[in-house]
Amino acid sequence: MSLAPLSTDHSTELYDLARRYIPGGVNSPVRAFKGVGGNPLFFKAGEGAYLIDADDNRYVDYVCGWGPFILGHCHPAIINALQLQLKRGLGYGASTEAEVEIAEKICNILPSIESVRLVSSGTEATMSAIRVARGFTRRDKVVKFEGCYHGHVDSLLVKAGSGALTMGEPDSLGVPRAFTDLTYVLPFNDSDAVENLFARHGDEIACLIVEPVAGNMNLVPPQAGFLETLREVCDRHGSVLIFDEVMTGFRVALGGAQSIYNIKPDLTTLGKVIGGGLPVGAFGGRKDIMDCLAPDGPVYQAGTLSGNPLAVTAGLATLKEISKPGFYDQLGRQTQKLLAGLQQRADAAGVPFTTNQAGAMFGCFFSDEKTVSHFDQVMACNLDNFKTFFHTMLDNGIYLAPSAYEAGFVSAAHLDRELELTLDAAEKAFSAVASGNQ
């Protein structure tokens, strides 16, 4: 069965109208299809594993809201919880019992987090975590890794991943040089580079921030020993180790990537899943560091909508569902089945292709290399092949991220039927790629 769209005329009309009033016609750059060509789609509904566009076409969705819809779209438990909260109000400008409940759950699930503060976005979480790390250490320098994206924080938009790579703007205009002068950028998965930098400048470094599984240069897991090296050098030099688990937290496992690799960071940033699809973020970790925050400490951070009752309600409903026994095992099996099917069809078509997986996150690379573990390997992948693959999949009712530098996501609603539809479309897509290479 094909889900091929018949027309996308209304999406085109909406895009033309949007460009009159919104910069680039979109409110987040990667939505603009600049990385793949063509016009972006506009969606009006989501149901389970599917998105429905403005022209009533249905697509199997592997973007999942860029991660948070781990249960699929419009899961009854989340919708019911939100309907109850709507009757009680949208917000109060004051604290609620639900905020305490979700903070307790986060701390219980992630042992590295002894104290947590809610914010409204992943960018706000990383920005705040770095501020409190600087306040705690009384140092200014920050270490990040090329291809890792931590939101549009001024000091971190240096060789960033995600939309910055897609747009070809790894160093954004509007960011003062003085900000990035305080940021060291190292190759991801290069332990020697980390050791060498800390040997020279370790006593100046306030913190090191990393995606423990890089999800913004497609999906690149850490190599053996890499995260251990980060933990060791930060301990040695008194620097704060920050795991950016905005994407991987409660996504790759209930305890995030830190539970898979058994590394305990000093601070963790969270988002996406803990809001069930509503705007949310959080940062937390060691109590002695978090105690530096106002009102108890001298590091100021605040947010009018932090802990918004709707986002917290959706997050609590999501955490309850994903905490059920066997949830992540099933999700991981479906993801593995999907990737095995894609690899089989790529091999049959003679297309150089490989995949990476972390729980229910995956990466697809049009590369001759069997293993992709470094930024330069990601950047060497065949973008023309990806563009052909993306558009053929889209024409056959499969919605992938419109960028070769974004991870994919599987939800609990992606059952065998959805995988079959996806692999049928992939057979056509790999054939189109092979034909274009002849």
Is this prediction's pTM over 0.85? Answer: yes
pLDDT at res. 166: 34
Active site residues: 149, 244, 272
Residue with structure tokens 């790579």?
165
pLDDT at res. 168: 34
pLDDT at res. 82: 98
pLDDT at res. 339: 98
The answer to whether 209 and 144 have CB atoms below 8 angstroms apart is yes
Helices 416-436, 383-395: crossing angle, 10 deg rounding: 130
pLDDT at res. 45: 97
Does 26 score more than 90 pLDDT? yes
pLDDT tens column, 317-333: 999 999 999 999 999 99
pLDDT at res. 99: 97
Does 222 score more than 80 pLDDT? yes
pLDDT tens column, 260-292: 999 999 999 999 999 999 999 999 999 999 999
pLDDT at res. 5: 66
Reading phi first (left if > 0) and then psi (alpha if -120 to 50, else beta), residue 258 is in alpha
pLDDT at res. 153: 75
pLDDT tens column, 124-176: 999 999 999 999 999 999 999 998 988 877 667 665 444 443 333 345 677 77
Q: Give the rounded percent of residues in the chain with a pLDDT score beyond 90.
A: 87
Q: Round the average pLDDT of the chain to a whole number and report it.
A: 93
Q: Give the rounded percent of residues in the chain with a pLDDT score beyond 70.
A: 94
pLDDT at res. 192: 96
Per-domain residue ranges of the chain: 1-53, 76-322
- Of 430, 423, 401, nearest to 34 by C-alpha is 401
Q: How far apart are the first and last CA of the chain?
A: 28
* Buried/exposed 287-296: b ≥16 CB within 10 Å, e otherwise: eebbebbeee
pLDDT at res. 2: 54
pLDDT at res. 182: 86
What is the CATH number assigned to the segment(s) 76-322? 3.40.640.10
Q: For the residues 220-242, what does the mean pLDDT come to?
A: 98
pLDDT at res. 151: 83
